[in-house]
Amino acid sequence: MAIQQAFVAPSILSADFAHLADEAAAVAGSDWLHVDVMDNHYVPNLTLGLPVVKSLKAATGIPLDCHLMIENPQRWAVGYAEAGAVNVSFHAETTDDPIAIAKDLRAAGSMAGLAIDRDTAVEPYLSLLSYFDTVLIMTIKAGFGGQAFMPELLAKVRTIRQAIDLDDLSIRLEVDGGINADTSSKPLPRPVRTPSWPGPPCSAPPIPPKPSAASAPWPSARSSSLRSRMGTSAGSPLTLLLTPT
């Protein structure tokens, strides 16, 4: 099997929200910047919304990967595509018509992403995969940072991977939740085969720690180095979303 490139997308949940432009600059070299949008409805937490994403887009050249943990994505998702996000993922649990939203996102110029939460089975969505460019599998419960990675959810990653490969689809598979230096050192089950995490580089914050208790170490900026040491087996690339614990 040919080795495919893995992608690294640090999650903005790890950042100091008062210094987002600086935080984005600190992870220059990352493939994508993962932007977790929480609305205090679909999930209890509230993070940021479209105005902040627009400002962030103007402040960084890193492609923005918007993960919408929000209700009513049919109303809001397209705005993120129009703001210039490279990929917009909405949750399967939040709509009865994911295909329509996917079509709208593609028409607006972004990739269309389907996110699947911890307690949602992937099987009902396998027949819809051709409408999507990315699939995001939660390896925690959506809505909170700092949760422990749940390795049992990798069975869903395997199921999606097999479906992608079976139909030779061009879909980027994202693994989101509790990915850090420790959890990513544990090999994912075949055929995903995420290689071991390099380790030490991720433990070194690229910027000085902020005095705020809310700030957590921001994932390493050395994404290009990490990428070169990772790879997946055949199939579309795997994206690792990094969050602190």
Q: How many residues bind Zn ion (CB under 5 A)?
A: 3
- Asked if 1 and 232 touch (Cβ cutoff 8 Å), the reply is no
Q: Please state, in angstroms and as integers, the Cα–Cα distance from residue 92 to each residue in 23, 126, 141, 185, following that order.
A: 30, 12, 14, 29
Shortest Å, Cβ 184 to Zn ion: 15
Residue nearest to Zn ion (CB): 67
Q: Which is nearer to Zn ion, 33 or 165 (CB)?
A: 33
Q: Which residues pair with 64 in a beta bridge?
A: 33
Residues in region 53-112 near Zn ion by CB under 5 A: 67
How far, in Å, CA of 138 to CA of 243, rounded? Answer: 12
122: left (phi over 0), alpha (psi -120 to 50) or beta: alpha
Binding of Zn ion by 36 (CB under 5 A): yes
Residue 188: which of 179, 201, 67 has the closest Cα?
Answer: 179
Q: Which is nearer to Zn ion, 79 or 191 (CB)?
A: 79
Shortest Å, Cβ 138 to Zn ion: 8
Which of these segments, 126-134, 158-166, 171-179, 181-189, binds Zn ion (CB under 5 A)? 171-179
Which of these segments, 30-38, 71-79, 165-173, 197-205, binds Zn ion (CB under 5 A)? 30-38
Q: Which is nearer to Zn ion, 3 or 37 (CB)?
A: 37
DSSP 117: -
Radius of gyration of the chain measured on its C-alpha atoms: 17
Q: Give the footprint of Zn ion on this chain (CB under 5 A).
A: 36, 67, 176
